[in-house]
Structures are given as structure tokens and as C-alpha cells.
């Protein structure tokens, strides 16, 4: 599989290899299958043109032609991006339709169906996003024009083991059932951009808003989700698995506000937010024990205790030192993290509260809700 020079130029400084989205793979398979229907031969490799002009070529891993139906398959190469769909076999089955039928999309095995509002597709539609649909239509039209054909086809996209792979994605939570989504806006997977996760966070907010929810929770993992579920009576679609991307949640909700945002996560991770970090990944931000020591001083910690905190091995160890001395470091971190979140929200009509937990999911710190829409929101002990 090769690509045009633009993508390599963009990534040259990283030394990382780009990949191709499921949408690009589906477009390649569709182009090969439709070409075979019109000519009797499958182009292998098949070259497509992406929205920004790149021209990757894809080798076919399977093909079949029978009557008015053809199928072609490619293997998704995600490059150096940690993508659960890397190596997935993406198939497109193209069937000729009567003139005037247009291009019709179907979800095959392993491709999901939209069941909730708030996504860029109508309920009941196959989870083939708008840009991949446009790309497939354009390539069908180009092949049709080259061979004097009307271009009326049914395109069924499927992904081998897609239903199983989808369990590791956001799809079940945001109401895409039965398999994966066919995604992509540029066709290119940017290595380690984490763009897919951030896009999922945004879609999660969209679905929650479309469902009329006024309270969502940004959680760093499954333990924090469970804790929030025990504290608040929130439906599953209100729980946003933000992972390390606190900034992505806050910046999107700033533009698409909800009345109430709860941020819940491990004490150490949220101490990074309290210190002003919006990316909580250990490779990009560290627990600042000096910051924790200074914060503990505001809560009554002695100088000797502050020095112990600054020298602690982990954030959780610093927390335990404070708990033993009856210094509310967890609450102090939660309150400071809330204030940092409000600063990112820049006056958006959103009330924010923060819950810090330990590895067992026990609440070790909690803030009251504050913000323009807080109104009568309760304090640390309210639900």
C-alpha cells in the first residue's frame, strides 16, 4: 500500500507511519468491486483519491464476481496508530440497481446500525459516516463516467468480526449496534493523534444532548464510571469515557454546553487537571508532588508534612499521608480541578463538580458544583 507525497511530508518529522481509515478502505473495496462489475476485472492494487489529494493504493485480499454483484476486500492498515480496527478485513459488496435508483448504502455483517439520535446519521441508517459515503459516491460516479454506466448501485459494507471488535469501542454506548462504524474525514489515520477517541467523546456529548440529558459525566475509566453510577442516577449515554482527554471534553462542552458536568477519575490523574494539565496521559503530564504539597499547606498541613508529600513516591501516597494527618487533600484537589475546568469552559453555562477516587473506586475527594448554571446545586455530600 502506497500513498501520495503529501501525507509523508506532513508526518516526516514524527518518523511515524500513517494509516488509512475504515472509510478509505471501504472506498477502495467499493471502487474495485464496481470496476469489476463494469469490466470483468478487479484492479489490484486499487487506487483511490482522498479528500486532500492523497492517492493510496490498496491490495485486494479477496474478490468475487457473479452476475450483477461483485465483492472486494482489503485489510485495514492503521499505520503506527493504536487502533482496534488495525488488521480488520473490510469488504464491499456492490450490486447493480435499475437506472434512477441512485447509490444505496447497507450495513453488512460487522457494521453497526444507528439506533439513537444525535449522530450525523438518521436512526436506522447503517453506521457509514457522511464523508465515507461521499467518497464512495464520488468514486462510483468516476468509474461509471469512465465506462458510460448510470452509476446506480447498492453498496453493502461489512467487517469481518466487526461485532466483536465493536465491543472495544464507544459504539454500543452511543447507540450504534451490531458492529463498527465506517469512519474518516480525510481518509488518513494520523499516528498517535488519538483523533478517533476524541471524536468519540464529541459524538457522546452529541448523543447525550440529543437525548435531552442535562447532566453528563466525564470519566477516566470504568472504575470512575461505576462510582459515578452509584452516586448519580445517570443513564449510560451520560457517561463519557474521556480517558486522559479532559481537555477534549471541556473544550467540546464549552461549544456545546450541558447544564451539569461531573468529572470523575483517579486522584493522581485529577491532580494533574488541578495543576492545569488537560492531557492526563503519563507520557505527557506528571503528578507534581510539589504542587500537592503547596495545596496541602492551604488545608493546614504542617511544613514537615508538606515536605513528606513533596518527597512521596506517588500521588496516592501523598494522599494517604494527608488522610493520616486529617488534611483534606482529596477535596482540595477536586476543588482546584473544578476551578481549572471552569477556566477552560470560559463562562459557558455549565456547572462543574469533580469526584476523585482511589483504585478501588472509593471517593477520596469531592467538590461542590460551581458555575453559571449551578443554581442550587448541592455541595460535596449532595447527589
Contact 365, 318 (CB under 8 A): no
Instruction: Pick 197 or 268 by higher pLDDT.
Output: 268
229 pLDDT above the threshold of 70: yes
| pLDDT band at 190; cut points 50, 70, 90 | low
18-33: average pLDDT: 96
> Any idea which of 114-118, 274-278, 350-354 has the lowest mean pLDDT?
114-118
Q: Which of 151, 136, 124 is nearest to 48 (CA)?
A: 136
- Taking residues 26-46, report their average pLDDT: 98
Q: Which residue has the higher pLDDT, 179 or 193?
A: 179
- Residue whose C-alpha cell reads 496521559 in the numeric block: 281
Identify the CATH assignment for 5-189 out of 3.30.450.40, 3.30.2110.10, 2.40.128.50, 3.90.190.20: 3.30.2110.10
pLDDT, residue 10, reads 29
Region 42-59 average pLDDT? 95
Per-residue model confidence (pLDDT) at position 374: 65
Higher pLDDT, 322 or 82: 322
Q: Which one, of 251, 266, 183, 259, lies nearest residue 220 by Cα?
A: 266
Residue 253 · residue 348 · CB < 8 Å: yes
- Cβ–Cβ < 8 Å for 352, 369: yes
Which of 134-138, 139-143, 170-174 has the weakest average pLDDT? Answer: 170-174
Q: Binning pLDDT at 50, 70 and 90, where does residue 11 land? A: very low
How many other CB atoms are there within 10 angstroms of residue 376's CB atom?
A: 6
At 186 the pLDDT is 86
Region 309-320: mean pLDDT is: 89
Percent of the chain past pLDDT 90, that is, above it, reads: 72
Helix (H) or strand (E) holding 264: strand 260-266
Summarised one tens digit per residue, pLDDT across range 60-97 is 999 999 999 999 999 999 887 667 899 999 999 999 99
Give the mean model confidence (pLDDT) for residues 223-234.
91
pLDDT of residue 259: 97
- Locate 145 and state its grid cell: 463516467
- For residue 380, pLDDT beyond 90: no
**pLDDT grade for 16, boundaries at 50, 70 and 90:** low
Q: What is the pLDDT of residue 79?
A: 84
**Crossing angle of the two packed helices 267-274 and 315-324, in degrees rounded to 10:** 100
Work out the end-to-end distance of the chain between its first and last CA atoms, rounded to an integer number of angstroms.
Answer: 54
Contact 263, 355 (CB under 8 A): yes
Q: What is the pLDDT of residue 378?
A: 37
> Distance (Å, rounded) from C-alpha 107 to C-alpha 156?
6
* 332-355 tens-digit pLDDT: 999 999 999 999 999 999 999 999
Q: Is the pLDDT of residue 271 over 80?
A: yes
Q: What residue ranges do the domains of the chain occupy?
A: 5-189, 195-366
Q: What's 373's DSSP letter?
A: T
Closest by CA position to 294, among listed 276, 306, 279, 280:
306
Percent of the chain with pLDDT over 70: 91
Is the distance from CB of 339 to CB of 371 less than 8 angstroms? Answer: no
Check residues 153 and 118 and name the one with the higher pLDDT.
153
Amino acid at each position: 500500500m502506497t500513498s501520495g507525497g503529501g501525507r509523508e511530508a506532513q508526518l516526516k518529522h514524527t518518523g511515524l507511519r500513517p494509516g488509512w481509515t475504515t472509510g478509505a478502505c471501504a472506498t477502495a473495496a467499493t471502487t474495485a468491486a464496481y470496476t469489476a462489475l463494469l469490466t470483468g476485472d478487479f484492479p489490484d492494487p486499487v487506487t483511490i483519491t482522498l479528500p486532500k489529494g492523497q492517492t493510496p493504493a490498496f491490495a485486494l485480499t479477496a474478490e468475487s464476481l457473479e452476475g450483477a454483484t461483485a465483492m472486494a476486500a482489503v485489510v485495514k492498515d492503521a499505520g503506527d496508530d493504536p487502533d482496534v480496527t488495525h488488521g480488520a478485513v473490510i469488504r464491499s459488496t456492490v450490486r447493480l440497481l435499475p437506472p434512477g435508483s441512485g447509490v444505496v448504502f447497507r450495513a453488512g455483517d460487522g457494521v453497526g446500525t444507528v439506533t439513537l439520535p444525535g449522530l450525523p446519521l438518521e436512526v436506522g441508517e447503517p453506521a457509514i459516516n457522511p464523508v465515507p459515503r461521499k467518497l464512495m459516491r464520488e468514486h462510483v460516479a468516476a468509474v461509471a463516467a469512465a465506462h458510460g454506466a448510470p452509476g446506480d448501485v447498492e453498496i453493502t459494507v461489512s467487517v469481518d468480526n466487526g461485532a466483536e471488535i465493536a465491543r472495544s469501542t464507544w459504539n454500543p454506548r452511543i447507540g450504534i449496534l451490531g458492529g463498527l462504524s465506517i469512519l474518516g474525514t480525510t481518509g488518513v489515520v494520523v499516528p498517535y493523534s488519538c483523533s478517533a477517541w476524541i471524536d468519540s467523546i464529541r459524538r457522546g456529548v452529541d448523543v447525550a444532548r440529543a437525548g435531552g440529558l442535562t447532566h453528563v459525566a466525564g470519566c477516566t475509566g470504568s472504575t470512575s464510571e461505576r462510582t459515578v453510577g452509584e452516586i448519580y442516577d445517570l443513564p449510560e449515554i451520560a457517561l463519557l469515557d474521556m480517558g486522559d482527554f479532559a481537555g477534549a471534553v471541556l473544550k467540546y462542552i464549552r461549544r456545546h454546553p450541558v447544564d451539569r458536568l461531573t468529572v470523575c477519575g483517579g486522584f493522581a490523574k485529577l491532580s494533574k487537571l488541578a495543576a492545569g494539565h488537560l492531557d492526563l496521559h503519563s507520557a505527557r503530564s506528571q503528578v507534581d508532588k510539589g504542587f500537592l504539597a503547596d495545596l496541602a499547606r492551604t488545608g493546614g498541613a504542617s511544613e514537615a508534612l508538606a515536605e513528606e508529600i513533596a518527597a512521596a513516591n506517588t500521588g496516592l501516597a501523598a494522599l494517604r499521608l494527608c488522610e493520616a494527618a486529617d488534611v483534606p487533600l482529596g477535596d482540595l484537589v477536586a476543588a482546584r480541578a473544578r476551578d481549572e475546568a471552569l477556566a477552560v469552559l470560559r463562562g459557558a453555562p455549565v456547572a462543574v463538580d469533580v469526584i476523585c477516587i482511589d483504585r478501588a473506586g472509593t471517593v477520596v475527594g469531592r467538590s461542590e458544583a460551581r458555575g453559571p448554571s449551578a443554581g442550587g446545586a448541592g455541595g460535596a455530600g449532595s447527589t
